[in-house]
Amino acid sequence: MTTPDTFARLDVVVQDVTGRDGFQNVAPWIPTEVKLELLRGIAGARVPWLEVTSFVHPKWVPQLRDAEDVCAGLAADLGVAPGAPRPVLSALVPNARGVARAAGRGIDAVSLTISASEAHARANLNRGRAELLDAAGDAIAAAREAGLQMRGGVATAFGCPIQGDVPLADLAWVVGRYAELGLRVIRLGDTTGMAHPRQVREAVTALRAEHPFVTFVLHLHDTRGMGIANAVAGVEAGLRHLDAALGGLGGCPFAPGASGNVDLIDLVHAAEEIGWRTGIDLDALIALGRRLPDLTGLQADSRVLVAGKRNDLAGRDALREDGSVAAQLRG
């Protein structure tokens, strides 16, 4: 399995959320075998962490009603080459009942999500943040008993579609409560893509200074085209873990205006071009991304799939014998 030592050899740990966030807002049913084919392809491309599903009630997220079947399929065949590290597998859970469903299914870690926005929390769950955090203790205890790592997620960490700006103090309060509950991995979610690079840099810097023993993860949506810039800002502020989804799939059924995640291919391409080691086979991801529309009927929102990698010289085979682009254009 991928271990902390594996992560230590990477400059950036890219975490795929296609199986959960990528699919959860899709209405037409995606067959379980298609989900498994995509997840196996992502694992085979050496992505070190996969969030593969969510153990929520099917009434709320019908697309993920096959959570147990997905886990069973991955347990039978994860798609990783012999001798290659097995990625960490995680799932989203809403409460202790979700933890119980995830236990014993090959999942290594589970995540809770609570909003930094009081308005968003009350609009979706009719409960305030303090009440939700008090209730989180049962799920955290259940995860520990089951031998699962529990991660804390903060939705609307950088802005809320209901109240607008979310003060850094509100985000820091939720993070602080998670830390008091003993959580050491906390995901900061830009649920509807409202973040900008300066905001991300300031928030990550402040939170890391306050909680030096917490590993922070950036979960970014590309609603306004700032996802990659926000990822770079977070890494430059000292954060190393970034979420993404194949083809930029994604969206939250409980957050009006939420569009897709940062594209996995674009993020890996950007990281490698900057010089950050990801350990991921980018060419394998590109080949898988090209198959996404045929497999799911969903279009990939990926700049690299359209334009190619930065050093792909698309016009080289079209040059005339004299090698002159100008001559070709004149001709």
Q: What share of the chain is helix, strand, coil (3-state, %, to 5)?
A: 45, 15, 40
Residue 52 tokens, joined: 């593969």
Q: CB–CB of 35/19 below 8 Å?
A: yes
Give the distance, in angstroms, between the CA of residue 99 and the centroid of all CA atoms in the same chain.
20
How far is the C-alpha of 100 from the C-alpha of 235, rounded, in Å?
A: 34
Measured torsion, CA atoms of residues 180, 251, 163, 176, in degrees rounded to the nearest 10: 10
Tell me which residues are annotated as active site.
252
State how far the alpha carbon of 206 is from the alpha carbons of 75, 119, 132, 211, in Å. Answer: 40, 24, 24, 9
Taken in order 48, 64, 40, 38, the sign of the CA dihedral is negative
Residue 150 tokens, joined: 């529990």
Q: CB–CB of 105/21 below 8 Å?
A: no
Eight-class DSSP state of 47: -
Residue 128 tokens, joined: 């305030």
Q: CB–CB of 224/263 below 8 Å?
A: no
Eight-class DSSP state of 115: E
Give the distance, in angstroms, between the CA of residue 74 and the centroid of all CA atoms in the same chain.
18
Closest C-alpha to 14, from 50, 38, 41, 39:
50
Q: CB–CB of 125/119 below 8 Å?
A: no
